[in-house]
Amino acid sequence: MEALVLEKIHELTLRDIDVDETLTPHDVRIALRTVGICGSDVHYYTHGKIGQFVVREPMILGHEASGVVIEVGEAVTDLKPGDRVCMEPGIPDPNSRASRLGMYNLDPAVRFWATPPVHGVLRPTVVHPAAFTFKLPDNVSFAEGAMVEPLAVGMHAATKAKIKPGDVAVVMGAGPIGMVTALAALAGGCSRVIMTDVQQPKLDLAATLGPITPVNVAREDLRGAVDALTGGWGADSVFECSGNERAAASVFAPLCPGGTVVYVGIPLQPIAYDVAAAMVKEARIEHVFRYAHVYPRAIALMASGKLDVKPLITDRFAFTESVEAFDFAVNMPPTSVKAQIELPA
């Protein structure tokens, strides 16, 4: 089948590639309709690796996806051909200790689309377990369905923060993950989110999404803005979504006593971690790695209208333009948040 293949670092081609996928009784075959471009996809393109995951042979990119079921295994009862769906891209070993403990995202043997050596889904069809395939309500589009994957990261982070109604949160970084984390924090009960970045167009967009106060840290003081909104107390939660080493090292300054820091972005280098600053506030520290048990709730929030990701989808490309789409994503302008690739019906 024709697919977008990362041949090696800095080299993408749209070409035919053999993918052997047999439908088992518990699988479904899906025709892809929309695939989002994630920062990890771009990083594999520009760097050839992320941590221990190294691209050593040609690999199909893409893991934020929605589509239509075209075939079901004989044991599948809750999905049928014609169903519009989105798919959770990580497939764990159901018998692993992590899976049995409910932490299947931490299963060392998880097979995750577009993570070497597993192929992604920028191609016409894919076979996937029905257990990790979720039906989309009629009022949720394919484009929104492909946003469930990044939204799941934000919702997992919000869940880790244990948000209480009326909380105030800081979200560092107004990229796609920062944006969906802010939306998840508001849906989870926050009365206000303070969002930081250095790109003003992204902050301007964030301010239209709800009770979000933008702070351009290139020219504004974050702690001062937080103090002004909280009477000097500080934010109940701080979500570090930028992956910037300097930002990641500064998370305790805007935090209230007894507050929670959630590390969401992954810094490329080790960060300076101020233990004393965390201790004097008895800060609770959480980390997220992907997500678990989130997709149904994310879809329900979209369908209810409580959470709207449509403003974040800023750029669309045809499947035939996939290479150009990735080159665009490498140097994405400040006015763009999420680019998606649409496959033909």
Band (267; pLDDT cuts 50, 70, 90) = confident
**Which pTM does this prediction carry?**
0.95
What pLDDT shows up at residue 51?
Answer: 79
Phi and psi at residue 146, in whole multiples of 5°? Answer: -70, -15
Stretch 143-159: mean pLDDT, rounded? Answer: 98
Residues of the chain with CATH 3.40.50.720: 154-287
Residues of the chain with CATH 3.90.180.10: 2-147+309-342
Stretch 151-165: mean pLDDT, rounded? Answer: 98
2-147+309-342 CATH fold: Quinone Oxidoreductase; Chain A, domain 1 (3.90.180)
Does residue 209 have a pLDDT over 90? yes
Q: What is the mean pLDDT of the chain?
A: 96
Tokens representing 327?
């080159």
Give CA separation, 109 vs 93, 118, 128, in Å.
Answer: 6, 12, 16
Is the link from the previous residue into 117 a cis peptide, with omega within 30 of 0? Answer: yes
154-287 CATH fold: Rossmann fold (3.40.50)
Does residue 268 have a pLDDT over 90? no
pLDDT, tens only, 27-62: 999 999 999 999 999 999 999 998 788 999 999 999
CB atoms within 10 A of CB 253: 17
- C-alpha to C-alpha distance for 62 and 69, rounded to whole angstroms: 18
pLDDT, tens only, 294-319: 999 999 999 999 999 999 999 999 99
What pLDDT shows up at residue 20?
Answer: 86
8 Å CB contact between 67 and 33: yes
pLDDT, tens only, 221-232: 999 999 999 999
